[in-house]
């Protein structure tokens, strides 16, 4: 299975990609503004690459439950010095911009970013056309409502089936706009408009989502569905995150998004080997 992100082409058939999270925000649920300043964010990004991240996901807007939107100009004010610094200091790094705004994505792609991680799955007009024109990688995520409202009693009759139907429809929308199939990845949006039981159901049945035929990205790192079960704050959820991530990889995740690259990478490699053993494929 191929995931094309402009000139970068990843073969995710047997080796899962590890995407390191860089929150350039003052109010992230996980690191509380620790990397809000450009110098701190840049140093953290470089450390994640040194730890073995295949690509970085740069975000300038917190999308924790209850958060409010950040305007495009403010997102770019936060992002620009970090993107510029990485392009200057680590030109070979593969960079993803975590935004649902076409204008922010356009500026990031103009500076050489490779992926648009769109948690709104093309709600902003023009995003699909921009991605199609640039050949960027595209992540389409399921979210019920908006970050401000998504955890207000989310309900589903069949969470796996409904998320799957939504992602199939959004892939078709992207394709109709000219986005190449091999550029698209999908994300079930664990924790985004989901109660705890919905999040566990999505991870447990990830193989159904993988059957859509595009690489599945999972962002499970330090999420509340782990913290609530273990009764631990965000900074003490690494073990739970590793367990959930390993299961996700075994069931078909091809990209994992994590705050903790150094500890996640070995778990992912073992899960890759176990998945290969199940399918008979040669491990990477």
* Mean pLDDT value across residues 166-190: 98
Number of residues assigned to the chain: 284
Q: Which CATH number do you get for residue 97?
A: 3.20.20.20
* Mean pLDDT value across residues 11-38: 86
In a domain, 137, yes or no: yes
In a domain, 42, yes or no: yes
In a domain, 68, yes or no: yes
Identify the DSSP state of 63: -
Least confident of 126-130, 163-167, 208-212, 274-278: 274-278
Give pLDDT, residue 63. 77
Give pLDDT, residue 154. 86
In a domain, 284, yes or no: no
Report, as residue numbers or ranges, the catalytic residues.
Answer: 223, 257
Give pLDDT, residue 29. 63
Residue 245: give the domain boundaries. 2-7+15-279
Number of domains present in the structure of the chain: 1
Give pLDDT, residue 36. 84
Q: Give residue-wise pLDDT tens across range 33-88.
A: 788 899 999 999 999 999 999 999 999 998 777 778 899 999 999 999 999 999 99
Average pLDDT, the chain: 94
More confident residue, 241 or 146: 241
Q: pLDDT > 70: what percent of the chain?
A: 96
Give pLDDT, residue 18. 98
User: What confidence category does residue 109 fall into, taking pLDDT thresholds of 50, 70 and 90?
Assistant: very high
Query: Rounded to a whole number, what is the distance in angstroms from the first to the last CA of the chain?
Result: 13
In a domain, 27, yes or no: yes
User: What confidence category does residue 283 fall into, taking pLDDT thresholds of 50, 70 and 90?
Assistant: low
């Amino acid at each position: 299975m191929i995931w094309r992100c402009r000139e970068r082409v990843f073969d995710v058939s047997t080796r899962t990609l590890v995407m390191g999270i860089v929150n350039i925000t003052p109010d992230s649920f996980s690191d509380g503004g620790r990397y809000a300043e450009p110098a701190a964010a840049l140093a953290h990004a470089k450390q994640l690459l040194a730890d073995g991240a295949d690509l970085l996901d740069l975000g300038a807007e917190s999308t924790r439950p209850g958060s409010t939107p950040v305007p495009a100009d403010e997102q770019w004010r936060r992002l620009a010095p970090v993107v510029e610094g990485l392009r200057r200091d680590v030109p070979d790094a593969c960079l993803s911009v975590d935004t649902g705004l076409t204008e922010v994505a356009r500026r990031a792609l103009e500076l050489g970013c490779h992926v648009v991680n769109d948690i709104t799955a093309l709600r902003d007009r023009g995003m699909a056309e921009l991605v199609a024109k640039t050949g960027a990688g595209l992540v389409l995520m399921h979210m019920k409502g908006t970050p401000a409202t998504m955890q207000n009693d989310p309900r589903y009759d069949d969470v796996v089936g409904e998320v799957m139907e939504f992602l199939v429809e959004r892939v078709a929308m992207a394709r109709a706009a000219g986005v190449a199939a091999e550029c698209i990845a999908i994300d079930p949006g664990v924790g985004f408009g989901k109660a705890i039981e919905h999040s566990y159901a999505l991870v447990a049945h990830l193989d159904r989502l993988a059957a859509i035929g595009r690489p599945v990205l999972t962002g499970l790192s330090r999420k509340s569905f782990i913290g609530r079960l273990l009764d631990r704050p965000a900074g003490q959820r690494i073990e739970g995150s590793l367990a959930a991530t390993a299961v996700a990889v075994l069931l078909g995740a091809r990209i994992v998004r994590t705050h903790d690259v150094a500890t996640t990478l070995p778990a992912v490699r073992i899960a890759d080997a176990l998945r290969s053993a199940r399918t008979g494929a040669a491990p990477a």
